[in-house]
Structure 1
């Protein structure tokens, strides 16, 4: 009697059972629009979800019911995410809920998804870093009056991880020179500035005497109860003056460009210049602090600064009179990272911070909040040491 290969026999039996109880769903995967398989994507991208049905038992134009879900782990119920699509017909340009797809001749069905800002609340609710997407799929076989329901892709490791793109945040802090005294030593001789990507922002006093239209600054300079006057300021100084960009104004004048065109790289070049010969007055130690924020966090900071540049308000070293370089940088950061009582809240900064030195101490505890650099400590580096030829004022 010939020896029987039990392994082959078992495999045959398994194959036989599979043929006997054929499955409707064979496979599913995520891809980019070029057909490349993906497991990650960022907000703002177009992607495809692909389903491969069994073409032997699933005819062309078969309908698959689909529900996009955000996997929340084993404890919490998964969130349903409603997809909206354009009907895109000659007669009907209205929108409708996308909850079905149809198969082609080969049993394949695909749905294109735009990962727009509507996905952001789901990311925030999941901790602010990422979500993992899959589809609950249902197929109904009319001939056999049979349903098959499956979460796809089958393997959870193949769910699509979606997160925001990141933005590099750069904070520049010039500390007062060690030989400074008085107001200069308290912080007035230093400076705080920041950039979101290459977009640069800072704030300082406009010490030029002249006439200023209150409405341009959204500030009542003469305290008469309105902001409609053209007011002449004869002695504006660091105690009280109209606000303006500080290093940004100097660079724009030097290059004969608009302040909005000043970039972070231009500021780095400006800092390298000699404080006296090139008339920059940057003679203190300058720190560069870098961390990564999500794109939406960066956009919040930009939004705050653009509003401040539209209405420059008043500058003053006294916080009850106006704003200054450090308070504006602090507030822009707080706009992206508002106060929270949560123990693991990221990048909290105290309201009482008024001087560059205090800001630098706070920033040493900052971390990146983007997916790729999550929780990585902020990097602090000295890009200019205090000038040895400064002897004090």
Structure 2
């Protein structure tokens, strides 16, 4: 056991004062409110109270995690109040001083390199005139640093129960391919559907060789796009955007939910709509968001045939797979959607088993809610 360290029954480290210079150290937010937790991306401070330290003298400052691994200053971007220069010293005035930084990519990289969990516990080694003290004294007051969380919302309209396999024109719908799948990352909404209106489409914009001439440079007239082969577009998102006079990329989740709850005669949404929510780490959310942003730049081909293009469910599935690959060790417990998932109902069965991966909601099962009942006055043609 190191000298000057004692353990209580909870194995909490309580360090005795080994120096005449250091009284205490503590973590706060940018408004000087004491904290024990912080999400990456926020501004945090470490305060030091001393005694017998002359005004203007500096305390050397080094951050460690609870395992004793030193954090490099250029990755934590330590800065003294009012400056933008990386620094590892605290100037003491009136036996008090603090240093602050805004955690960012460097801190995230350090967190991802830590193989023992989803957070880092930080303390500070302070040095003055050869005297060294680790602060805070009590390990219960170390700062727990973890990724911020982002709420993922999946919206699923199930095919109407009145569809029949044996009625003309209802075959694909009765198979479960009717309905719709969509999602939001935080409040940013995304979905995918067919642009089945005849017209001229830019191969460059869609990143598709519509006329099969070996390039993607032409403007091509398509006289009969359909749900089996059509230029892609945001589906509910484009309708909401048109209604509000905004760009589909700017549509928010609440605006779509408001739209869903209008009469089905105004929206064409007549099936039961379910909302499934779960939380992910911000780095996972960014992977999903990046996929959708790229898809909205190049909308490609929509098709119910998976070998031809993407459709609403496979688009949501593929975006989520960007963040969650199959866990070979624990395939049942992993947030993974199989490649065979093609229908809204199939997606619902997969997503409702998801668990939150964020520190704040770790291992909580996804929450499911019916936000619109099936329309009773709808009769499929």
TM-score, structure 2 as length reference: 0.85
Q: How does 1:82-161 map to 2 (within 5 A)?
A: 82-84=72-74, 96=86, 98-104=87-93, 106-126=94-114, 129-140=118-129, 147-161=130-144
User: Match for residue 68 of structure 1?
Assistant: 63
Q: Which residue of 2 aligns with 1:59?
A: 54
Which digits, 9 at most, give the CA deviation of each residue in 1:193-212, with x for residues without a partner? 01122211100001001111
Aligned to 2:150: 167
Q: Is structure 2 residue 25 aligned with structure 1 residue 28?
A: yes
From 342, 346, 353, the counterpart of 1:365: 353
Q: 1-side partners of 2:236 and 2:145: how far apart?
A: 38
Unaligned stretches of 5+ in structure 2? 1-15, 166-170
Q: Which structure 2 residues correspond to residues 178-189 of structure 1 after superposition, within 5 A?
A: 178-180=161-163, 181=165, 182-189=171-178
Shift of 1:264: 1.5
- Residue in structure 2 matched with residue 80 of structure 1 by the alignment: 70
Query: Are 1:386 and 2:380 counterparts?
Result: no
Q: Higher mean Cα deviation, 129-138 or 284-293?
A: 129-138
Q: 2: distance between equivalents of 1:128 and 1:305?
A: 29
Superposed CA offset, 1:301-341 (max 9, x none) = 22211110000000111111110101111111112223343
Q: Is the 8 A contact 1:27 1:53 kept in 2?
A: yes
State the alpha-carbon separation in 2 of the partners of residues 128 and 119 from structure 1.
14
Question: Is the deviation greater in 280-289 or in 107-116?
Answer: 107-116
Check 1:237–1:101 CA distance in 2 against 1; reply closer, same or farther (3 A cut): same
CA distance in 2, matches of 1:168, 1:158: 28
Aligned to 2:243: 254
Aligned residues: 354
2:365 to 377, 388, 392: 377
Is the Cα contact below 8 Å between 2:326 and 2:335 reproduced in 1? Answer: no
Q: The residue matched to 1:138 in structure 2 has which SS?
A: strand
**Contact persistence 1:129–1:369 (CA under 8 A):** no
Moved over 6 A (4+): none
CA offsets 1:114-153 (integer angstroms, 9 cap, x no match)? 212211122233466322111122333xxxxxx3322211
Gaps of at least 5 residues in structure 1 are 1-17, 73-77, 141-146
Residue 258 of structure 1 deviates from its aligned partner by 2.5
- Contact (CA 8 Å) 1:346, 1:369: kept in 2 or not? no
Distance 1:116 1:189 in 2: 43
The question of whether the paired residues in 2 share the 8 Å contact of 1:47 and 1:113 is answered with: yes
Q: Per-residue CA shift, 1:156-191, capped at 9, x if unaligned?
A: 000011223322211001111122231112232111
Question: How far off its partner does 1:95 sit?
Answer: 5.3
Instruction: Tell me the TM-score normalized by structure 1.
Output: 0.83
Cα distance in 1, alignment partners of residues 290 and 322 from structure 2:
9
Larger Rg: 1
Summarize the Cα distance change of 1:269–1:59 in structure 2 as closer, same or farther, 3 Å threshold: closer
Q: Over residues 42-83 of structure 1, what are the superposed CA-to-partner deviations in whole Å (9 max), with x where a residue is unaligned?
A: 22222211122222xx333444332211224xxxxx332112
Deviation at 1:33, TM superposition (A): 3.0
Deviates further, 118-127 or 360-369: 118-127
Q: Per-residue deviation at 1:343?
A: 2.8
Task: Flag the 1:115–1:204 CA change in 2: closer, same or farther, 3 A.
Answer: same
Deviation of the 1:372 alpha carbon: 1.9
Matches within 5 A, 1:303-382: 303-343=290-330, 346-382=334-370
Q: Alpha carbon RMSD of aligned pairs, Å?
A: 2.5
Partners of 2:90 and 2:246 in 1: how far apart?
54
CA shift, 1:36, in A, is 2.3
Separation of aligned partners in 2, 1:368 and 1:330: 17
Q: Which residue in 2 is equivalent to 1:9? A: none
- In structure 2, the CA distance between the partners of 1:266 and 1:103, relative to structure 1 (3 Å rule), is closer
Asked if 1:239 is matched to 2:224, the reply is no
